[in-house]
């Protein structure tokens, strides 16, 4: 299954307000089990819509914040690459500072724990 992009201020804000929260060692994930409200998205088609958010409070350097985002998103992409059936879901991944210096396997373990606990 391919990851779709979760974009738009209104979509992200509603996910922050209404979404369920899962907290791991390296990231916090807010999720809703529905498709985002967007005229370009068919709510009946399955998809995993993901977005990342890393504020400047996390780290001063934009390069390091982007690296944290990429590591979390890539771990999710690799984990669901071989899965054939996933429910329609919106995910907003917020990395923690630990995701910058930890081993990549810890990030993958967090993703696996999240997916097994929510599915």
In a domain, 26, yes or no: yes
Give the pTM. Answer: 0.88
d(CA 62, CA 55): 9
In a domain, 39, yes or no: yes
Q: Are 30 and 118 in contact (CB under 8 A)?
A: no
Instruction: Give the SS3 label for residue 85.
Output: coil
- Tally of structural domains, the chain: 1
Q: Are 32 and 43 in contact (CB under 8 A)?
A: no
In a domain, 78, yes or no: yes
In a domain, 103, yes or no: no
In a domain, 60, yes or no: yes
Domain that includes residue 26, residue range: 3-89
In a domain, 111, yes or no: no
pLDDT of residue 40: 72
pLDDT higher than threshold 70 for residue 11: yes
Q: What is the per-residue pLDDT across 13-50, written as a single tens digit (0 to 9) for each?
A: 899 999 999 999 999 999 999 888 776 777 777 788 89
Instruction: Taking residues 85-114, report their average pLDDT.
Output: 91
Q: What is the per-residue pLDDT across 40-89, written as a single tens digit (0 to 9) for each?
A: 777 777 788 899 999 899 899 999 999 999 999 999 999 988 787 778 88
In a domain, 25, yes or no: yes
pLDDT higher than threshold 70 for residue 1: no
In a domain, 117, yes or no: no
CA-CA-CA-CA torsion sign (26, 71, 109, 104): negative
pLDDT of residue 67: 93
Q: Are 12 and 77 in contact (CB under 8 A)?
A: no
pLDDT higher than threshold 90 for residue 93: yes
């Amino acid at each position: 299954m391919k990851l779709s992009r979760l974009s738009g201020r209104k979509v992200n804000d509603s996910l922050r307000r209404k979404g369920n929260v899962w907290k791991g060692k390296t990231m916090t994930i807010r999720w809703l089990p529905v498709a985002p409200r967007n005229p370009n998205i068919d709510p009946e088609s399955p998809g995993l819509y993901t977005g990342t958010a890393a504020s400047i409070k996390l780290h001063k350097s934009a390069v390091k914040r982007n690296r944290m985002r990429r590591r979390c998103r890539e771990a999710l992409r690799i984990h669901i690459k071989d899965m054939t059936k996933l429910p329609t879901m919106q995910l907003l991944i917020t990395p923690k500072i630990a995701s910058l210096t930890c081993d990549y396997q810890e990030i993958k373990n967090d993703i696996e724990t999240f997916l097994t606990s929510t599915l």
